[in-house]
Structure 1
Amino acid sequence: MKGSKWGKGIGVIMAILLVAMMAAACSGNKEANNQPAESPTQADNGNGKAGQEETQGEEAFDYYRYKEPVEITIVKDVPPDLKLPEGETIEDNSFSRFVKKHTNIDFKVAWYATGQDFVQKQQLAIASNDIPDVMLVDETTFRQLAAAEQLEDLTEVYNKYAQPQLKSKYEATQGVALAKATYDGKLMALPNLSGLAESISLLWVRQDWLDKLNIPAPKTADDVEAIAKAFVQQDPNGNNKADTVGLTGSGASLYSNGYAGMHDFTGLFAGYNAYPGLWLKGEGDSIVYGSTTPETKATIAKLRGMYANGLIDKEFALRKDPNQLVSNGEAGMFFGPWWAPWNLSESITNDPAADWKPYWIADAEGKLNTHMVPISSHFVVVKKGFKHPDAVMTYINWYTGGDSLKSEDEKERARAQQRLDDFQALDPTLIIALYPLYTTYVDTDVVEKTNIKLKKAISGEIKPEDMEPGDRIVYEQWQRDNAKPKSNAADWPPPYAYLNGGDAVMQPVDRKVFNEYTATTKTMQRKWANLQKLETETMYKIIMGEEPLEAFDTFVEKWKSQGGNEIIAEIEAELSKQK
């Protein structure tokens, strides 16, 4: 259940994190009307101390900047093959200096690693109680740390020092987010907040190829198959070569159980009302594993038939970068999230005629289905005994802060503008890799809100200067791209994603399916790796014709007998306690 984020979800973080960071770059001092109800010099935090009063005097109280310089140790999961500019390091770089300049917080990287190496090293640090001051962890690791009493109670820190905008975002989840970060009645972490649009897997198609071949827009799984066949057989790129792929796939995963992934088949599974990898509600209080259902088997059968007929990339299971097929014009169809245009920049640079459009594939009854990403799936935790937990709150306040560009105070506007200028000078491709606690704190409907505001700005209903900084920057990108279409690969993706991807995900949803359990049971800790290996190998082999479709039934039997039934019983027992 654990793993590195790299290779999955990086586009979503880029798509939303950068817009949020633009707004954060403009955040600054809030005046007295935003002061906490209880003065930080008067409130006791339960440990005989008065919170920030030792370092944050009442007169200088600032949600977004720690008064005294403070050092916080962290660990980092860095992307593979990360290339930094000359003279910069993981710990000391333009972004870390930007953060320190504006928050007074110096993040020191105790150690860093990549992928499973990071996961293993983090678990070793937890087991030896040698964790850094602050970490970003998944739900299972959070509960593991809380149960071992390794975490600082953040209840008072949040109540006193969380900035109002952040509190309103949490409140909008109707208590769901903070409840997930609560252990034994105490707030033991600060949970992230995800945009729910990240859940939806769309079919992105070369509309220019559809038009050339006179093919209507896809609606169902059968349409996907028909288009794939046409793309393979009818030379849609017009080079008189049999070199086009019907549908891409991914060797990393066949489906996602959280964020919609790039190049997997999650959207096709949803078209069969199948949700592999999720724990689903069965009859009564029973739980069913989504990978073992008849609907999942039906989807695997469809994929097996398409692969046998040459309609899916023959090398998909081994291909390291399926997006390369899209970039070089060999593939004109793939499943991906609303933010897929970030991965299409090279495609439109190589071929400005490429016209990509997103479609939501319905089931046989015409219903639009989707699994739903958890509102909170990652947690900022603070080591028990760390002297400055309020500094962590200050940092998150700063990151999620509001707009000071419209402040009536001239000096504050100048400071906000300087923050924005400093941020825009950073290399956007490195921000995710270098961001100390890379996660999202966004409105759950952030994509929909941005979509609407962009349309209003384009139509003249609102003035650009009245937009929030992040939204305004996307609007300015739209202006430049509209004046010279696809001439700048950096300007095209954001507005195209928010407008076109946003339109697609804003359709009325017929069925939203949530994962009923997102932690880890005792049996899962011992047996999940083997069960996942069984699942992955069986699914791939069936699709690629190495095993018959009947092997799916054998897989289900083995999965249940080799630990699946025990896990389901544990999950049902755990969920019953929460009622």
Structure 2
Amino acid sequence: MKKKIALLLAAVMTVSLMTGCGGDSGSAQTAGNSESVSAVSVQEADPRFKYEEPVTLTSYFEISPALGEFNKEDMLNSVYYTRMTEETNISIDWLWYAANTPDDSQQKKSVAIASGEIPDFMIVNSSQLSLLAKSDLINRNIGEVFKKYASDELMAWTTGEGQAALESATDKGEIIAIPLVDSSIDKSPLLWIRRDWIKKLGLEMPKNLDDLYNVMVAFRDQDPDGNGKDDTIGMVFHNNFLSAGLGDGVGVFNGFGAYPTAWIEDGNGGLVYGSVKEENKDALNFLAKMYQEGLIEQDFSSNDEVKASEAAASGRAGIQYGLMWNANWPLNSTVQNDSEADWVTLPIPTALTEEAKPQISLAITGYVVVNKKCEHPEAVVRMLNFWVDKYGYSGEEYNDYLVKDANDVLNFPLHWVMLKTWFPLKNLTIHNNIAAALESGDSSSLNAEELVSYNDIQNYLSGDTVTSYGGMKTFGNDMSAYDTMNEYYEKDMFMWDKFTTGPTPTMGQKMSTVTDKVMEYYTKVIMGIETTDSFDDFVKELNSLGLDKITEEVNEWYANK
């Protein structure tokens, strides 16, 4: 296990073994023998307390599309919720169930906020949090409640990437919501490349963007798929190329030291919108050259990422920028069509003398707000503690909670749990633990979740390269996604988006117009309709559309945060 993660995990494991809140000797309680309380005082703030009398909180249930067919009774009677009530004496009265979409649950929540009738707790997005910050509906002291009742493990997860998550939930110096964190580093761009094509054509892995360009030319011209046809391209690319996912261009821009859509330091103590920086011109000219030479699809402007992904899946492309999950889709489809297909990852290549820095932004899945009229705000924190205990540290008990998902595979009931947060380095930790087990040949220390991927990798190594492709290429130890991610993390290579709060007033009104104009101009430059000679005029137009006012508001926030 690598040094940085080992140190962080050691801290988490240490606090999980400490006795009592704040480490006081003799007062630690496991979930199974929690101390019963009716009202917990400052001195008695055991994070695993159990109420003497039943406590019921109201909220909303959002139905994830990943659930497939949703059965309310299965959820309500699940081991997870049954045991939560047994161990905490807390239950939830779901006031409504709705699909987690802008037109359904998000609209219902917005209506509730506007009417002033919100449940005891609910999960909101950053825009909704900004509205609630101006209202008199929520408990603005929830930050202190969280600090008092959060288990050491929950606090370690929430601050796993520093204080930015809590800062993003702050208004006028008060933490007014509990941030539900995800992994920010999991969203960093990687370069996926077919190693089998590199070997077949007698090439070397690219070390910089010039090398990558030459490899793309070879992939286009030298028939790497061996079908005798002129049907291969240099790189997968789609029309929403500033949105990191698969086949995007974020990594290309980062290779030139450009960070479009991110708010980055301007060198004078403030922030600037990355899309207007001069470095973008070089990236745009590089992409325009690729387009002109047929290294990317000539109809990319009409292709979304699903359509564009067909080039990789069908074996027409052997390079794409993307995220850590790409091996599970669409790259797993490549090996179904070609058993020799061998996708691996590299750090994003640089066009500069220094290594490229992948851009990432703070990953928050939502914010838990608590109604100021709620009599037991600490119950929300208690349920989050329960989640962390059971999902992260329950040992063999973990298997008790497993249910079949939409694909008939046993998994932890993630989509049945509204109050959930994540250890930001979970996937990287899984990789490092698996890599250590593969090296030693001893998997006895792996937890249940890690064993799933470890067994996948063993199946891959035994010849099942099709069904086990995703596990090997994501978590394995041979140029997998997390091999590269670990290099990013160990070298602290990330370029963070510094704007970590909800939208400013003008953002809410005009930012979509600004981003649309950015995509329009960038696309025209790539296609040769415009040139970067007009870049300064483009920036002036953005300012006239509201970017100047947005930048002013962003810097006012940045100066006072």
Do the two structures share a fold, i.e. TM-score over 0.5? yes
Q: Note if contact 1:197-1:338 (Cα within 8 Å) is conserved in structure 2.
A: no
Aligned to 1:567: 550
1:276 shift after superposition: 0.4
Secondary structure, counterpart of 2:207 in structure 1: coil
The residue identity in structure 1 corresponding to 2:265 is K
* Structure 1 equivalent of residue 464 of structure 2: 485
RCO (CA 8 Å, sep 6+): is it higher in 1 or 2? Answer: 1
- 1: distance between equivalents of 2:76 and 2:318? 36
Following superposition of structure 1 onto structure 2, how do residues 466-545 of structure 1 map, counting pairs within 5 Å?
Answer: 466-489=445-468, 491-492=471-472, 494-496=474-476, 500-507=480-487, 509=491, 511-518=493-500, 519-545=502-528
Instruction: Choose the corresponding residue for 2:358, options 353, 359, 370.
Output: 370
Secondary structure in 2 matching 1:288: strand
Asked if structure 1 preserves the Cα contact closer than 8 Å seen for 2:187 and 2:324, the reply is no
Per-residue Cα deviation, 1:205-262 (whole angstroms, up to 9, x for no partner): 11111111222112222333222222222221112222223211233x2224xxx422
Q: Which amino acid aligns with 1:423?
A: L
Aligned residue among 240, 260, 263 for 1:276: 260
Moved more, 156-165 or 211-220: 156-165
Residue aligned with 2:320, SS: strand
1:304 matches 2:288: yes
Matched residues in 1 for 2:389 and 2:93: separation? 19
What's 2:206 paired with?
Answer: 218
Give the alignment partner of residue 351 of structure 1, picking from 338, 341, 346.
Answer: 338
Deviations 1:393-416 (A, max 9, x none): 2332232226898xxxxxxx9xx6
Describe the SS at the equivalent of 2:181: coil
Determine the structure 2 residue equivalent to 1:103: 84
Q: Deviations over 1:337-373 (max 9, x none)?
A: 2332222322223322110011111232142312232
Aligned to 2:103: 117
Shift of 1:284: 1.8
Tell me the TM-score normalized by structure 2.
0.81
**C-alpha displacement at 1:274, in angstroms?**
0.3
Distance 1:337 1:487 in 2: 20
State the 1:269 CA deviation.
Answer: 0.7
Match of 1:240 among 204, 225, 228: 228
Matches of 2:297 and 2:419 in 1, distance apart?
Answer: 33
Report how far residue 39 of structure 1 moved.
Answer: 7.8
Q: Which amino acid aligns with 1:350?
A: N
Q: State the partner residue of 1:43.
A: 40
Cross-structure match for 2:190: 202
Matched, 1:314 2:294: no
**CA RMSD, Structure 1 to Structure 2 (Å):** 3.9
d(CA) in 2 for partners of 1:510 and 1:146?
34
Q: CA–CA distance in 2 between the matches of 1:199 and 1:331?
A: 22
Q: Which amino acid aligns with 2:28?
A: N
Amino acid at match of 1:284: N
8 Å Cα contact 1:278-1:289 kept in structure 2: yes
Q: CA deviation at 1:486?
A: 1.2
CA contact (8 A) 1:262 1:337 kept: yes
Match of 1:441 among 422, 431, 454: 422
- Paired residue for 1:552? 535
Q: State whether residues 242 and 249 of structure 2, in contact with CA within 8 Å, keep that contact through their aligned partners in structure 1.
A: yes
| DSSP 3-state at the match of 1:204 | strand
> What letter corresponds to residue 110 of structure 1 in structure 2?
W
Give distance in 2, aligned partners of 1:535 and 1:431: 41
CA distance in structure 2 between the aligned counterparts of 1:530 and 1:501, rounded to whole angstroms: 35
Distance in 1 between the 2:283 and 2:163 partners? Answer: 36
Distance (whole Å) between structure 1 residues aligned to residue 362 and residue 497 of structure 2: 8
Q: Is the 8 A contact 1:250 1:316 kept in 2?
A: yes
Name the structure 1 match of 2:134: 147
Tell me, in whole angstroms, the C-alpha distance in 2 between the residues paired with 1:55 and 1:39: 4
Confirm whether residue 393 of structure 1 aligns to residue 378 of structure 2: no
SS across alignment from 2:503: coil
* Amino acid paired to 1:328: S
Distance 1:474 1:185 in 2: 42
1:322-346 alpha-carbon deviations (Å, 9 max, x no partner): 2232222222211112332222322
Match of residue 28, structure 2, among 34, 37, 57: 34
Structure 2 Cα separation of the partners of residues 393 and 466 of structure 1: 30
Distance 1:351 1:555 in 2: 45
Residue identity matched to 1:503: D
1:423-456 Cα deviation digits (max 9, x unpaired): 154446898993443864214x434433322122
> Partner letter of residue 356 of structure 2?
L
Q: Residue 313 of structure 2 corresponds to which residue in structure 1?
A: 327
Query: Aligned in 2, Cα 1:552/1:494: closer, same or farther, shift over 3 Å?
Result: same
Contact 1:203 1:336 in 2 (8 A): yes
- Output the CA distance in 2 between the equivalents of 1:42 and 1:110: 29
Task: Specify the SS of the correspondent of 1:167.
Answer: helix
Please tell me whether the aligned partners of residues 431 and 476 of structure 2 are also in contact (alpha carbons under 8 angstroms).
Answer: no
Query: Corresponding residue for 1:450?
Result: 430
Mapped partners of 1:363, 1:372: distance in 2: 19
One-letter amino acid of the structure 1 residue matched with residue 450 of structure 2: D
> What is the count of residue pairs matched by the alignment?
522
409, 420, 439: which one aligns with 1:459:
439
Deviations 1:519-576 (CA, angstroms, capped at 9, x unpaired):
3222222221221221122222222233333343322110112211111122222222
- Check the 8 A contact 2:234/2:318 in 1, yes or no: yes
Residue type of the alignment partner of 2:361: V
Could you state the TM-score of these two structures normalised by the residue count of structure 1? 0.78
How far residue 314 of structure 1 moved from its aligned partner, in angstroms, is 2.5
SS at match of 1:374: coil
Any conservation in 2 of the 1:277–1:290 contact (CA below 8 Å)? yes
| Counterpart secondary structure, 2:369 | strand
Contact in 2 for aligned 1:307/1:313 (Cα 8 Å)? yes
Shift, 1:494, TM fit: 4.7
Aligned partner of 2:279 in structure 1 is 295
Query: What secondary structure does 2:191 align onto?
Result: strand
Deviations 1:36-81 (A, max 9, x none): 9998445348xxxx99999712xxxxxxxxx8484643253744xx
Stretches of structure 1 lacking an aligned partner (at least 5 in a row): 1-26, 58-66, 406-412
Do the aligned residues in 2 keep the contact of 1:465 with 1:472 (CA within 8 Å)?
A: no
- Once residues 124 and 433 of structure 1 are traced to their aligned partners in structure 2, the CA distance between those partners, rounded to angstroms, is 27
CA contact (8 A) 1:372 1:513 kept: yes
SS at match of 2:556: helix
1:410 aligns to what? none
Q: CA deviation at 1:376?
A: 4.6
In structure 2, the CA distance between the partners of 1:314 and 1:93, relative to structure 1 (3 Å rule), is farther
In structure 2, how many angstroms separate the alpha carbons of the residues matched to 1:472 and 1:39?
Answer: 35
1:180 partner amino acid? S
Cα distance in 1 between the residues matched to 2:327 and 2:207: 21
Amino acid at match of 1:274: A
Q: Give distance in 2, aligned partners of 1:506 and 1:492.
A: 15
Shift, 1:273, TM fit:
0.3
CA distance in 1, matches of 2:366, 2:57: 23
Q: Contact between 1:249 and 1:317, CA under 8 Å: does it hold in 2?
A: no
2:406 maps to 1:420: no
The 1-side partners of 2:274 and 2:514 are apart by 14
1:275 and 1:404 map into 2 onto residues whose CA distance is 34
Q: Is the 8 A contact 2:475 2:482 kept in 1?
A: no
Cα distance change, pair 210–174 in 1 and its aligned pair in 2 (3 A): closer
1:441-487, CA deviations, whole angstroms, 9 ceiling, x for partnerless residues?
A: 214x43443332212211227x4232333223322322233223314
Q: Distance in 2 between matches of 1:180 and 1:454?
A: 33
Matched, 1:188 2:188: no
What amino acid is aligned across from residue 209 of structure 2 in structure 1?
A: A
1:22 match: none
Structure 2 equivalent of residue 169 of structure 1: 157
